[in-house]
Amino acid sequence: MLIVDKKLNMTNKRHMKMKAKLIGIGRATLSEEARVEIERMITDGELKGGEKLNELGLSNLMGVSRGTVREAIRSLGGSGLVDLVANRGAFVHEITLAEVQNLYDLRGAIFALACGDAARHFGEGAQPTLADDLSRNIDEMTAANDTKEISHYYTLNIEFHDLLLTAANNPKAKTIYDSLKREMHLFRRQGLSIATNIALSLEEHRAIADAVTAGDEEAARDAANEHIRRGFGRYMATATRD
Percentage of the chain beyond pLDDT 70 is: 83
Least confident range of 12-26, 40-54, 197-211: 12-26
Among candidate residues 35, 43, 39, the one with its CA nearest the CA of residue 71:
35
Q: How confident is the model at residue 43 (pLDDT cuts 50, 70, 90)?
A: confident
Determine the pLDDT at residue 188.
60
Set out the domains of the chain in order of their start, with CATH numbers. 10-92 (1.10.10.10), 97-241 (1.20.120.530)
Mean pLDDT of 62-91: 90
Which residues is 89 bridged to in the sheet?
85
Determine the pLDDT at residue 227.
96
**13 and 64 Cβ atoms separated by less than 8 Å:** no
- Confidence (pTM): 0.73
Q: What is the pLDDT of residues 51-74, one digit of tens each?
A: 999 999 999 998 899 999 999 999
